[in-house]
Amino acid sequence: MPKNLIDSDMRAEIQEALDDVHETFAKEIKIFQRKTETFVATSTSTYNALYNRLKNEQKTLGKVTELSAKARIEYVRTTEDSKLSGTSAQTNLTLPDGSVRLKIDQEGYSKIKRSSKVEIDGKLYELVSDSGFTGPFETKYHVLYLKRKD
């Protein structure tokens, strides 16, 4: 059976140091989630699939819930010199000016993955990528890309 090159005590120390970095540089972000309703149609006459709505449906305002989480924020530069680094090849995204890269813990990720909008430094953003996992020994943080919602 192969042995680990890094013993469990050293792993714990490294993980604690990375957690300290996250706590030191993380900022508070606001996450807005919109409640969605689920329904079951017993016949095709009650649901119009073309317009994705119920027949004679009452218009209701959706309830918006505001949550908060801590995340490390990096504002993505999209100038010509930053395109040389090949970051778009890694994410397979063409990011517009004003995009943001978030590194968020598991608790924050569970809140943000169903969000409709995210507020960072007073500006609204929306998710444009799936989660990328990061961590030296296990998945501890998620990396997400967001674009400005104008």
Whether the pLDDT of residue 59 is over 80: the answer is no
Q: Provide DSSP, 4-39.
A: PSS-HHHHHHHHHHHHHHHHHH-EEEEEEEE-----
Q: How many structural domains is the chain composed of?
A: 1
Asked whether the whole model's pTM tops 0.75, one would answer no
pLDDT of residue 114: 80
**Structure confidence by residue, pLDDT tens digits, 62-118:** 677 888 889 998 888 765 544 545 554 555 567 777 788 889 988 889 888 888 788
Whether the pLDDT of residue 51 is over 50: the answer is yes
| Residue 126 within a domain | yes
| Residue 2 within a domain | no
| Residue 43 within a domain | no
Please report, for the domain that includes residue 66, its CATH number. Answer: 2.40.10
Which residues lie across from 70 on neighbouring strands?
28
Domain residue limits at 97 = 8-35+62-148
Question: How confident is the prediction for the chain on average, in pLDDT?
Answer: 76
